[in-house]
Structure 1
Amino acid sequence: MNHVSSVEAPGVPAVLSIARIMELSVVRRGDPEVLSGFELLGTPVRWVHVTETPDLAELLTGGELVLTTGMAFGEGGAGVGDFLHQVRVAGAVGILVELVPGVSRNVDATISALREAASLMDFPVALLHRRVRFVEITEVVHRMLVSDQLAALERSRTIHEVFTALSLENADEDEIVSRTARLIGAPVVLEDVAHLVLAFDASDTDRAELLARWAERSRRVGYLESTGRGAGEESWLQTPVGVRGQRWGRLVVPGDLADDDDAAMVLERAGQTLSIARLAGRDQKELLHQARAGLLHELRQAHSLSADEVLVRSMALGLADVAHYVPVVLRLDMHSGQTPTGLQLRERELLEALLAVLDSSRATALSASLQSGQIGMVLGVSAKQLEEPLLERIFRQLSRGQAGIDWSVGVGHGRGSVKDAARGLDEAAQVAEIVATFDTKARPFYRFTDVRLHGLLALMQGDVRVKSFAEAELAGILDPPDAAALELLELYLKHGGNKSALARTGFLSRPALYARLEKLEDRLGVSLEDAESRTSLHVAMLWYRLNGNQ
């Protein structure tokens, strides 16, 4: 749980209401009794005014709480109804009446008249049964009003400084949303216009509960062009993000709040900061890619997320709740002279093409860049038996129309949960790395069962024991490297040791070929007719090529 500094703590309600005034000790000493307007006790009070005359039209400006001893009510309270009416018409928000036996005249009759008049009005009227000093009430209330105004100004200044600093620091969306949640003290979600979650901070709420059926729930909350609560089943506080006419999302606080006004101020400032961030170079798709990449990276590391929470967060990013999930990695081939920028552009182009194919195939996936030149994906499949045909369709369509396929696709083991499938991304990445070493790619995608010995050696290529074995096997033509001899050995092994088959390729004339093979045997110190020798040499050659030797 984050420790929130005092300057960023959620704002306390700054509204001085009639209810707050009624709880003051100086008022409680008067033994107050609310006679009417119970539902309006939360009305803000702008000022307190003491009067004994009903002629208040020119004395009040609106929002005042009136204090009176009822001297203007007339004999037995005959004029109390007119007095209350004039006070209300003048703009007051409520009235406190002090009627004390032994002090007020005909107090019982006046109290009865006040009760009857108040019962006919939808207006806060309170009766004080004991004497109080009105000057004490006005002093306390006025001090509170000034204090609240200063607190509101300080709060506004703090919010302004926080978001100004975030803009100057080029803070990312996650940081902006996180600080917003801390300032409000409630969960905050940034979504795009398709209701996919770009960033969120659950505050003290369970994350799975917060994002459960997010898109479905969010669609029921109408969009607004300004900060406020949208109409619909769930009237969430929201603010649009983006310039007018080009809205690309919204910030929402899903739930009730103690102080909508303070939260709205924070939310609006956060929306402006996010809009500025986008204008500075980050677009909507980039935010979605970033959010998806963040979750995939989190799932590949040690984490404490439950399977249900992973599914909920994945669904909020567009992945459907299906029966089967498959980890896939696409690895771009390295081009000579390729710059990091050029590789990044190729990666983005491939990702966009992949997303277009997924969309046309009506397939859903959690896909994003894993690292430079590598795209990871957890693909949703409605049934396990449909995994193979769906992968075939996606990657054949992706390669269609391409002048040359310059990427490799590795597929890991499918699983019944997103969490388990994501663990297979490392396996898929290893397969893609192996396939990248193939001269030709006969399949649109590969699994470990497809790469076989080549794959095993790829996993062990960093093992010093394999290195020592391979170098010992090829020592006769590696010190120094003899490219012609290495090429001859590789072709011979590729033809299964069949000299006649190799000769028929036209590589060399038959006499010349036999002579060179005898010389190769002498240099290697083994018989090429021996099956075990050929197997050992084949393993050594595979290792040699896998380590980038051409």
Structure 2
Amino acid sequence: MVFTVAELMALPAVVRARPEVAAGGEGFGRRPVRWVHTSEIFEIAPLLRGGEVLLTTGLGLVAVSADARRSYIADLARVGVAALLFELGRTFPTVPPEIVDEAERAGLPLVLLHGVVPFIEVTEVAHARILGGELTGLRFAARLQERLTLALGDDRGLVAFVGAISTGSGFAASLHSAAGELVAGVDPAEADARAAVEVEAPVLVGGEAWGRLVLRETAPAADGDGPDAVQQQMRLVLGVAAPLVALEVARSGEAPVSRRQAGAELLRDMVTGRYVSTEELVARAIGVGLRIRPGQVAVALCVRARSAGASAADVLIAARAVAGRLLGAALVAEHEGDVLIGALLRPRELRSVLARFADDLGRELRSTVGGGVLVSAGPPVDDVPALVSAFPSARETARLAARLTPSAVVVLAADFALYQLLVSLVDDEALEGFVAGQLGPLLEHDARTGAGLVMTLDAFLAAGLSKTRTAEALGIRRQTLYGRLERIETLLGGLDLDDRERRLALDLALVSWRLRLSATRA
């Protein structure tokens, strides 16, 4: 979209002239080129506006003093000339040293052309590229304006509209009030550390500055798109977006929906299916600050209070406070008695962060209504729209954990993968027959005597066949355990737990037994 000095120097006509960079500093090739002029006039600087590349043979510098040549270079740098291409051979066989010295001091890119080239060949091609880039920019602006106008018509609120600016432009957008409060978008403090370019524009409502719209580059620039070129594209985006933001601010009134409220609405729409497309979900998520960075995953959480005295409203208030401290930008809402949270985390830190979250949340609740919490997490997903399918898993994990591991504080869906697989089969006749085939004699004996042999076998396998740990877990003496194990071995026809296949079959049967038992209790 933006034609740069580097692209100018790559033109065949310039390459044939064997260009040599004599001064200008690192990165000058990224400078945008607004136009290309040829001139031999000594006092050309007042006729320029900045952003031009000037082609010259130096004819206007003949018979003037070294100080005058320095002034010539300083004046060009002062008006913002993008670069000076100085052809050698026609007027000067070598460049005067004072020109190089002053160009270096003033930061004016100086390129020496060692071969003779008709300047018209350079200007014709360069101007075609510049005008083509401007046309591309106008087309981009038109497409963006159409897209944002449609988003404005969706009437999803100010937060979602700022998210649409991010998705439509490719830059991270954030909206700040005149007092500096973050109203919508990604918090700059949480933005990608690689962001190196930032541009802003005022949002004027009723002729007064209501706030400011900020754009940040959050990904490495593409080849040829340096900071100057990126800034130019950002300003193009701001020129389209800022007036539309002002319209949405005026429509929203004095108290637009906050990021927290917008996040809660987004979460409820995700779990109830009230959305049009995944693109809508992405835009709305970015509007509340939920933008996945490299190395992060999206996680769906379900929080339930242990205490009967704690209502969902109590848990919701505490969860909002703790999530704000530990999880950063997050979606938090209550749905059908569960407090649901959508957050961005790093996979390696998932369990440890959730443990701290559950601990802090438990303390917060104990100070008011008492009791701890259960925090369950669905499977990590790669993007925010995928949370739609992760929230049901988080809620099902919470339900299973409450039935099967009542003392658990943090559980992940992966912890209950086998239960999740079997839960739909637990009433199946084939599975019931499998449980009876593996554990039938023990179940019958327990039903007659209440000896607890099935529970003993379950504890023995859970303890890794350690008799000491099994006796401790059951609260019985080792001699009592030895008697139970002998009876189990007899009833099961010479049980050999060193046989992996036999042990696995018993484990699976015991998992199914626990599911059926917990379902009966529930």
TM-score calculated relative to the size of structure 2 = 0.48
- Which has the larger helix fraction? 2
Which of these two proteins has the greater Rg computed from alpha carbons? 1
